[in-house]
Structure 1
């Protein structure tokens, strides 16, 4: 019974202290100045080139080619990416989202 009365006393004291704390003042509305607004990124130019054996989709920004998506008629699609802006393209394969790992754990 004694612990119950202590708990009730602590609960009432906490409620009384919480009632004395005033709510925080509302924040002023945020205004964005033009200098703080994020700079608009240029839209990439996309050009689709149909060939007999594949479809090439070229992506350019400011006239500079930075990526080519190659979708062959047979086989998986892949990307040619200019990683450092030098003009040399590196081939990147696409992994399917539901690929299953095929690690060998033990052979019998």
Structure 2
């Protein structure tokens, strides 16, 4: 019974698949080749943040920067649980979170600056 069902399904599906494959227009032109990336572009280090580790008075502060801008700090005190400070906006608001997952931060995009 299963073989008959499978055979019936294939009998109806194969002509539909063949008709769908033949729907390509006859006047297609090939796409131009993609040019190589510029020589001075550094693709490898774009996504990696710069990490600066500062040890003072028994605590460790790890500063995370992208394009020279500080966006997050991990503070590990000598006694206690490490916590993170993450920049909320470009004007300097910081928020604290304790876990490995980032807190919910509402996007505050700047369209124009005067």
TM-score range, shorter chain: 0.5 to 0.7
Alignment match of 1:51 (pick from 48, 52, 56):
56
Deviations along 1:52-104, one digit per CA (max 9) or x if unpaired, are 22000000011110000000001111111101232232222338xxxxxxxxx
Distance 1:69 1:57 in 2: 5
Distance 2:78 2:69 in 1: 27
Instruction: Report the alpha carbon displacement of residue 19 of structure 1 after superposing the two structures with TM.
Output: 4.5
Task: Identify if the C-alpha distance between structure 1 residues 66 and 19 changes in structure 2 by more than 3 Å, giving closer, same or farther.
Answer: closer
Task: Please tell me whether Structure 1 or Structure 2 has the larger radius of gyration of its CA atoms.
Answer: 1
Q: Could you state the TM-score of these two structures normalised by the residue count of structure 2?
A: 0.50
1:85 aligns with 2:77: no
Could you tell me which residue of structure 2 aligns to residue 94 of structure 1?
99
Alignment match of 1:22 (pick from 14, 19, 41):
14
Q: Which stretches in structure 2 are left out of the alignment for 5+ residues?
A: 22-32, 35-42, 101-114
Distance 1:15 1:89 in 2: 62
RMSD: 3.4
SS in 1 for 2:8: helix
Q: Could you state the TM-score of these two structures normalised by the residue count of structure 1?
A: 0.53
Return structure 1 stretches of 4+ with deviation > 3 angstroms: none
Higher-RCO chain (CA-CA 8 Å, sequence separation at least 6)? 1
Could you tell me which residue of structure 1 aligns to residue 30 of structure 2?
none
Aligned residue-pair number: 76
